[in-house]
Amino acid sequence: MASKVIHAIYNDDDILMNAVKAVRKEHYHIDEVYTPFPVHGLDKAMGLEDTRIAICSFMYGCVGLAVAITMMNYIMIEDWPQNIGGKPSFSYIENMPAFVPIMFEMTVFFAAHLMVITFYMRSKLWPFKKAENPDVRTTDDHFLMAIDAGHHNVDEVSKFLSDTGAIEISLHDKEDDH
């Protein structure tokens, strides 16, 4: 028997937040919540793990800094030393202040771009990707909570969900491939 998922639709973020808390209290498993805008505190209410993107960002920044240092050392000191403003470029450390803006920009550039790419890959987003969104109204003004039906009694769960303020409840087969 294919596994089933219950879609509960809400039309207010506060009601949704309370519903999420209530559902978790009953130990039903929330697969995903689709919202038209970021709902503050929803990740904590759903019990999602903290994002690790900050650590990635730090590492990417370090890579950018290292690239900038190596690059400027190669360009300005080793490959083609130039005398700019009476500061002959025979020593990296003595010319370092001039390279600080480049070091800063490369750090920011690497951290920002690689972070965005990481986010896209982690969220499985790429061009021509089919939307995972189960209901188009979640891009407008509705909130959708997908609950794993599992071995629960579907009628009981539906009753419980409508008590939490859901305006629409429906049962679907789980799409296996996404």
10 or 99: CB nearest other proteins: 99
Rule CB under 8 A: which of 42-61 touch other proteins? Answer: 54, 58
The nearest distance, CB 30 to other proteins, in angstroms, is 21
Site membership for other proteins, residue 62 (CB under 8 A): no
Angle at 40 between CA 123 and CA 135, to 5 degrees: 55
CA 145 to each of CA 36, 97, 112: distance values in angstroms, whole numbers, following the listed order: 12, 54, 31
Contact 164, 23 (CB under 8 A): yes
**Nearer Cβ to other proteins (52/159):** 52
From residue 170, give the alpha-carbon distance in Å to each of 63, 124, 132, 161: 48, 26, 17, 11
Pick one of 38, 47, 85, 127: the residue that binds other proteins (CB under 8 A): 85
Q: Does 97 sit near other proteins (CB under 8 A)?
A: yes
CB of 90 to other proteins, least distance (A): 17
Does 86 help bind other proteins (rule: CB under 8 A)?
Answer: yes
Which CB, 57 or 118, lies closer to other proteins? 57
Tell me how far, at minimum, the Cβ of 100 lies from other proteins, in Å: 6
Nearest to other proteins of 87, 174 (CB atom): 87
Cβ proximity to other proteins: between 29 and 87 the closer is 87
How many other β-carbons are positioned within 10 Å of the β-carbon of residue 107?
A: 19
Rounded distance between C-alpha atoms, residue 88 and residue 126, angstroms: 48
Residues 6+ apart with CB under 8 A from 117: none
- Window contacting other proteins (CB under 8 A); options: 96-104, 120-128, 134-142, 168-176: 96-104
The per-residue DSSP string of 75-127 comes to IIIIIS--EETTEE-S-HHHHHHHHHHHHHHHHHHHHHHHHHHHHHHHTT--T
Chain residues that interact with other proteins, rule: CB under 8 A: 41, 54, 58, 85-87, 97-98, 100-101
